[in-house]
Structure 1
Amino acid sequence: MIVSALHDADSAQVINLILPIQQLEFGVPISLEGQPDLVNIDGFYYRDGGGFWGVETDGRLVGTIALKVSEGPIATIRKMFVAKEYRGKELGIATVLLEVLLARCRELGIRDVYLGTVELLKAAHRFYERNGFERIAVEALPESFPRMVPDNVFYHLKLL
């Protein structure tokens, strides 16, 4: 398992991982056009100090996570996806990705981390809750939160 930073040159691999999970596996009504960040990784994530990371195994991108830094400073987790056959505690890919992202948050002095997801992704909810995230109402999100259209469940983590 190799964890590395992903950039614009990796967009095709990122899209090939994320879109089928969103559209085919979970039926989330979102297209590539609704996610311009996937073709502008450097401009959208790195510009303000965030990042985009991936896990590769056997020469294949199998997981991603992105950090969007906003005013406050606050951070938003985006694009956390793991290919179906690589999910679970045994491999721990999601945990590794989250640890990389939270380490970057600590480097930046970020204390508040938010994320949005969809009601349908119950396993994701359990993962976030096991890792200290608390479910919050949409009204509790900061103004600068970059909300995705299908998101209807929101979480917050207070870093110490």
Structure 2
Amino acid sequence: MPDYIIRPIYNDQQDEIVDLIIHIQQQEFNIPVTLNDQPDLLDIEKNYHAGGGNFWGAFKGDELVGTIALIDIGHHAGTIRKMFVKDGHRGTGLAQQLLDTLLHYSREKQITDLYLGTSAVLKAAHRFYERNGFVLTDINEFPTYFPRMPVDTMFYWLEIG
């Protein structure tokens, strides 16, 4: 397995974050989403770190090759966002390392419920979440404080201990 460094990242790496995520969304999966649809990416520190969440980057050397983020939504709950792994690094265990980093942090913060929304076209992501115990859940069963993204059409929940 390649050696990756996973660490919190901040606004000073915004351009790299945006380039990675937008490329994967638009070029690889043809998801009709733009940067304007994701204003959270324009201020990582305000939208993720300031509220008790976090935003992690995975690096191979100096190159950003993956991301995952957590928004602390209160009520001992969190929302997973921006989980992306660059082509060429998928299937290496990196996605699992990113998720494990987020789960460890969530437990430290006494978060017991994790929620996420995703696009129907991201089939490998669905399998990954289900392998990790996430349950496909109707959005109407999610709490009202879950911050839904308009592009998301499938929703998963995980209770963690």
Structure 1 residues without counterparts, runs of 5 or longer: none
Following superposition of structure 1 onto structure 2, how do residues 7-156 of structure 1 map, counting pairs within 5 Å? Answer: 7-88=10-91, 91-156=92-157
The unaligned stretches of length 5 or more in structure 2 are none
Question: What is the identity, as a one-letter code, of the residue corresponding to 2:105?
Answer: R
Q: Equivalent residue of 1:27, what SS? A: coil
Distance in 2 between residues matched to 1:143 and 1:74, nearest whole Å: 12
Normalised to the residue count of structure 1, the TM-score between the two structures is 0.96
Corresponding pairs, count: 158
Give runs of ≥4 in structure 1 deviating > 4 Å: none
Structure 2 CA distance, aligned partners of 1:146 and 1:83?
25
Query: 2:6 matched to 1:6?
Result: no
Structure 1 vs Structure 2 CA RMSD: 0.8
> Deviation digits for residues 60-116 of structure 1, max 9, x if unmatched?
10000000011212100000000011001xx21100000110111101111100000
Report how far residue 58 of structure 1 moved: 3.1
Q: Secondary structure at the match of 1:86?
A: coil
- State the TM-score, normalized to the length of structure 2: 0.96
